[in-house]
Structure 1
Amino acid sequence: MIKSLYVRTVLVFVGVVIVSLILAFFLATKLYSNSIKSMGEEQLIESGKRIIMMIQNAPEAKTASTLREATGNIMLTPVFQVKIVDERGAVVKYSRGVDPNAQLPITSEQYEHVISGGIYRGVVDLHPRETHGSELMLIGLPFEFREQPYALFISPELNELFDIFRRVMLTVLLSVLAMGSLLILLASRFIVKPLQRLTRATKRMAQGDFGIVLQTKRKDELGVLTASFNEMAGSLRMLDQMRSDFVNNVAHEFQSPLTSITGFTKALRTKPMDEAGRRHYLTIIEEESQRLARLCSNLLRLSVLQQDRQPAHPASYRLDEQIRRIIIASEPQWSAKGIEFDLDMPDMTIYADEDSLDQVWHNLISNSVKFSKDNGTIGITLAERDGTAVVTVRDYGKGIPPEEHQHIFTPFYKVDKSRDYAVKGNGLGLSIVKRIVELHHGEISVASVPAKETAFTVTLPLQPDERRS
């Protein structure tokens, strides 16, 4: 079995070329034979007329009493076979051309047609008794000499001409086949070589090497394929890095509370302490356990959201009332810091999954409370724009540096690189928010001025877009 693309390409090309050349040979032979035949008939007629004029105008013709006497000293051209027949069917003159063994048989029908004044156009078989005779063109012309009717039959010696033509055609076509085969051997290597490079690179990628990059200057389909391969390798490289970072982040997030729980549990078991100290250690253990529970819950929530393709339970409800409810539910957090809310939210109805959006507003408001200054203000605006609801949550706290904007929605990413656990959070909240907004075919963006303010803007369609469903 032929498995190599290179061999297949060469064989297919050579096969196509051979079939094409065979068809071209027969087609060219047919076309040129017909053209030669058409041109030959006219030239034969003209040649026959010149022979007749030559006979009639010869000096011997003036004194000869018969055509035989008149043509006795005339040497007819050896290019043609010429036969002159009188009215009784007797051969007056016969020139055998270049082939002395050739015969020019004339049938009675051909003779009678010409002797009666007609012009004959047809073919004659030089060897009628053989299975594959040699057919030649035959022209018959009538003329008179001494008021006696005669028939002149003329046939060209075209066998050699056709043989030469066929040999030339075969030589040309075989040369084309040889040169074409040589060129396709070289061209196929040029075509297949990038595919071989891609195959080797794919095998390396299957073994976990995502750092491979293929260089190419081609602009054709193979160049596009190579560019697509590089894009795929880059995406896999990024996914592999994200997977590694994700594992490291999960390990880090779990390690810290587990270390605390283990340490304080050991202290409770081995160190003597009063009731107040014991309660303090138990409180820390409880808080760390709750942090682990929140982390597990958020990881599970993010995993489920990544698998979803649309909101779970969409329905129509009042968006402004939902946000007010979340603010009231968060009162213990913002009232402890003396934060006030500046609300601008007209009545607005939206078609969405209310439970999922609860988590969006809860995360955004909790983050604003967490990073706002004491006795500060949080502004929330709600507006309708081109069939969408635009919600902006703005706080006036520490802000986010511009270079961090593109990373804050990445799982486990924290602007605070020191991972200050005094500020509760595991870096999953904004990732969950972004995924929920995307499931609703919306957008979320951030604008921030460090040490001044931060604004998160969420844009959601008020009604489901049928084209997206």
Structure 2
Amino acid sequence: MKSLYSKFLAATLFIMVISSFTGFFIANAYYQNNLKPENDSKNMEIAMNIAQYAETQENLDQYLKHAASTGYQLYVVDRQGERHSFGGSFDEKNLPFQTVENVLNGENYHGMRDFPKKTFVTGFFANELRNSVGVPFTHDSTQYALFMRPDIKLLFNEIHVLLGWMGLAIFILSLIAVLIWAAMIIRPVRQLSHATNKVGEDGFDIDLDIHRKDEIGQLAQNFKDMISRLGELDKLRRTFVSNVSHDIQTPLLNIQGYSRLLEDKTLSEDDRYNYLKVIQEEAKKMSTLSRQLLTLSSLEQKEKPLFRNRFKVTGQLKSLLHRYYWLIDENNLSLSYSF
């Protein structure tokens, strides 16, 4: 049987994994629908500025190298089909020929905005030539097509490591905190479970050391109150059974004693009648006690109020002496009394 602690840990890990995937999907959807057009527009403006300054430079290659060193990947194509890369290289140079021709003819290319949506690749990190922006420019009467995108490896190399370690630290610290918190919650529950088992083995004398002000603390207090009341009820039942057992034994002895006296054939009719009357009274008393035993199962846990009444014990004492006459006679005793 799995413990509550292991179930809590498994549920926590499951929630963390599901939350991570859900958060990634939400962030990816937000980028695709909101940030990607904005990112395309921003990079298009930068590409147009680079192209504008490139038209006024004497040494085009040196200028493009300097521009790429600021954190961009540049890919330049001229009319003759010569291709030059500046800065970081693209993983895939999958730009269609017609797209290059369109840019050479003066059109702008919005590859970032129109990059296909993917579930596990946001597009921002896809290092592909088609995931770029393209602008035309002219240098020394030669038409060029400039394709540009930020160099993610250059810009995010250190921050990737930092974010990775940060994410790992957050995950480990969160897991440790959850384990400690779960242990604090599970500990009193285990104490309650142990106390419940101890009640079945050792009775109602339980010392439950739980002092909390939350629902578990309230549960522990209710458990203590229940154990206390059950202990009182158990004592009441034991006392009741002990008293009833004693009260049953007494009339049985009286019946047995007077039965032996009735075996005496020299008894007068009056004595015989009196002895039989005592036996009948004792039998009635046993019947009453048997009915009282039936009330044992219906004893209430709540205490009932007691009412005091005056009572004369003279009749009780006479009846008591009359019932035990057989025992006095059997021991050859003489007893006198007055009330």
User: Does TM-score exceed 0.5, indicating one fold?
Assistant: yes
Whether 1:228 aligns to 2:122 is no
The offset of 1:135, in angstroms, is 1.6
With 116-125 and 41-50 compared, the bigger mean Cα shift is at: 116-125
Percent identity, aligned pairs only, is 27
Does the 8 Å CA contact 1:138/1:153 hold for their aligned counterparts? yes
Whether 1:118 aligns to 2:112 is no
Q: 1:26 to 1:170 in 2, by over 3 A?
A: farther
- Residue 240 of structure 2 corresponds to 246
Unmatched tracts of structure 1, length 5 or more: 61-69, 126-132, 308-403, 409-413, 424-469
Give SS of 2:146's match.
strand
- Which has the larger share of helix? 2
- The one-letter code sitting in structure 1 at the alignment partner of 2:8 is T
Q: 1:47 to 1:226 in 2, by over 3 A?
A: same
Whether 1:182 aligns to 2:76 is no
Does the 8 Å CA contact 2:204/2:231 hold for their aligned counterparts? yes
| Alignment TM-score, normalising by the size of structure 1 | 0.52
The offset of 1:246, in angstroms, is 2.2
| Alignment TM-score, normalising by the size of structure 2 | 0.68
The offset of 1:110, in angstroms, is 1.2
Q: 1:254 to 1:291 in 2, by over 3 A?
A: same
CA distance in 2, matches of 1:168, 1:34: 27
- The one-letter code sitting in structure 1 at the alignment partner of 2:279 is I
CA distance in 1, matches of 2:289, 2:62: 124
CA distance in 2, matches of 1:254, 1:418: 24
With 240-249 and 24-33 compared, the bigger mean Cα shift is at: 24-33
The offset of 1:236, in angstroms, is 2.4
- Residue 135 of structure 1 corresponds to 128
Whether 1:151 aligns to 2:150 is no
CA distance in 1, matches of 2:218, 2:225: 10
Q: 1:159 to 1:31 in 2, by over 3 A?
A: farther
Aligned residues: CA RMSD: 4.2
- Residue 8 of structure 1 corresponds to 7
The offset of 1:211, in angstroms, is 2.5
The offset of 1:77, in angstroms, is 0.9
CA distance in 1, matches of 2:170, 2:141: 59
- Residue 74 of structure 2 corresponds to 82
Q: 1:163 to 1:407 in 2, by over 3 A?
A: farther
With 140-149 and 112-121 compared, the bigger mean Cα shift is at: 140-149
Does the 8 Å CA contact 1:139/1:155 hold for their aligned counterparts? yes
Does the 8 Å CA contact 2:77/2:145 hold for their aligned counterparts? yes
The offset of 1:258, in angstroms, is 2.9
Q: Which has the higher contact order (CA 8 A, sep 6+)?
A: 2
Give SS of 1:81's match.
strand
Does the 8 Å CA contact 2:76/2:146 hold for their aligned counterparts? yes
Which residue of 235, 256, 262 maps to 2:256? 262
CA distance in 1, matches of 2:104, 2:209: 84
- Residue 166 of structure 2 corresponds to 172
- The one-letter code sitting in structure 2 at the alignment partner of 1:74 is Y
Which residue of 269, 281, 285 maps to 1:287? 281
Does the 8 Å CA contact 2:50/2:67 hold for their aligned counterparts? no
Map 1:289-308 onto structure 2 (within 5 A).
289-297=283-291, 299=293, 302=295
Which residue of 403, 406, 415 maps to 2:305? 406
Q: How many residues align?
A: 299
CA distance in 1, matches of 2:26, 2:162: 15
Q: 1:213 to 1:106 in 2, by over 3 A?
A: closer
- Residue 43 of structure 1 corresponds to 42
The offset of 1:120, in angstroms, is 0.5
Map 1:268-417 onto structure 2 (within 5 A).
268-269=262-263, 274-297=268-291, 299=293, 302=295, 406-407=305-306
CA distance in 1, matches of 2:248, 2:188: 47
